[in-house]
Amino acid sequence: MNTTTSSGPALIDVHDMVVVHRAFRREFRILAELLRAVPAGDLARAAVVAEHARLALAGLSLHHGSEDDLLWPLLLERAAPSAELIGRMEAQHGEAESLITRIEPALARWEAEARPAAGEEVAVLMGELATTLLAHLDEEERSVLPLAARCLTQEEWASIGQAGVAKMTKAELPIMFGMVMEDATPEERRALLGGLPLPVRLLLRTWGARAYRRYVSRVRDGR
């Protein structure tokens, strides 16, 4: 929702970013646990966990890419004092991508053999990524979102999220959306769904919701 201050124009609503961040915090915390829990040699279970890891990593890369392409340029143009902050945000994105580049081949090696030692290597890297990511998300929410709320229009803000969604496959969309919605409050769910076209909204509420429940049960519980 928009708010107006006594000294300035209405602020746009950027809370959807907080909801997305909540999903990343949860998934990257859980991933290290899932990796370590796979029994030695269980290739079927390793494939499920590896698939989920790749989906979470792809979602993070899409999220960061939309910010790099669309958000930082607007903030640098309209909030010049934030240049140092934006440089730090870009550097943190670079650290995360560097870790993802290291995780991907390690994940492939583990998936092929399901050796505990290889799984531990990936889990440690995931832990490093989670630590880097949590610090980044905290600073972004503390320092970047207030700038965006003041400097962008609601349409410009919406385009940043839409850019990431547009790059998802039809199979990825309900799962990614389900991840974001999982810990959302009823008010947050209504706001997130409200910005979508009616056919997409209906699809995500019905088939998409069921698909996510099946997916998350398979990933976390092995069922």
Amino acid 46: pLDDT: 98
Amino acid 4: pLDDT: 41
Amino acid 5: pLDDT: 43
The continuous run of DSSP H or E covering 11 comes out as strand 10-11
Cα(196)–Cα(202) distance, integer angstroms: 9
Read off φ and ψ for residue 171, nearest 5 degrees. Answer: -75, -35
Amino acid 7: pLDDT: 52
CA torsion, points 112, 113, 115, 121, in degrees to nearest 10? -20
Amino acid 3: pLDDT: 44
Amino acid 15: pLDDT: 96
Question: What are the C-alpha distances in Å from 152 to residues 3, 192, 216?
Answer: 14, 19, 35
For residue 118, count other CB atoms closer than 10 A to its CB: 19
State which amino acid sits at residue 67.
E
Is the CB of residue 184 less than 8 Å from the CB of residue 19? yes
State whether residue 116 is helix, strand or coil.
Answer: helix
For the whole model, what pTM was predicted? 0.90
Q: In this structure, which CATH number among 1.20.120.520, 3.50.50.60, 2.40.110.10, 1.10.3720.10 belongs to the domain 13-166?
A: 1.20.120.520
Q: Please give the chain's pLDDT, 223 residues, in tens.
A: 444 444 556 899 999 999 999 999 999 999 999 999 999 999 999 999 999 999 999 999 999 999 999 999 999 998 877 889 999 999 999 999 999 999 999 999 999 999 999 999 999 999 999 999 999 999 999 999 999 999 999 999 999 988 888 888 888 889 999 999 999 999 999 988 887 778 888 888 898 899 999 999 999 988 6
Read off φ and ψ for residue 12, nearest 5 degrees. Answer: -80, 165
